[in-house]
Amino acid sequence: QVQLAESGGALVQAGGSLRLSCTVSGLPSSRYVMGWFRLASGKEREFVAGINWSGDDTLYVNSVKGRFTISRDNAKNTMFLQMNSLKVEDTAVYYCAAGGGPTYGASSRNYAYWGQGTQVTVSS
């Protein structure tokens, strides 16, 4: 059974940094795209970042470009989201996702498997 587990969410001051991790188990290989989504209170689920299976190509929502960095370590079956210069509006539950196809874009349909989420709260 495929399982994704996020960790690293915390309460942090605006301007601070956090690193989220997502560990994948149950997939036959590391050749799958991965992405991060977030769900803020009162808002719809939003795509944050995506990465191809080899980790050499990425995509970000405009609001996090230059502040967030997505990466992966296939040897450890783990994906990361380094979040710097955090803003209050980054507050949300962050979810990792994985899919077996080549597309890692904003559509949630690119990702077949989802984690349970980790809470990120940024205080002013």
What local confidence, expressed as pLDDT, does residue 39 receive?
97
Mean pLDDT of 89-100: 94
**Tens digit of each residue's pLDDT (9 = 90 or more) over 55-93:** 999 999 999 999 999 999 999 999 999 999 999 999 999
Per residue in 66-75, pLDDT (tens digit) is 999 999 999 9
Tell me the per-residue pLDDT of 100-112, one tens digit each, with 9 for 90 and over: 678 888 898 989 9
pLDDT at 97: 96
Q: For residue 79, what are the CA distances in angstroms to 23, 72, 88, 99, 106?
A: 7, 4, 24, 13, 17
CB atoms within 10 A of CB 26: 11
Give me the residues paired with residue 18 across strands.
83
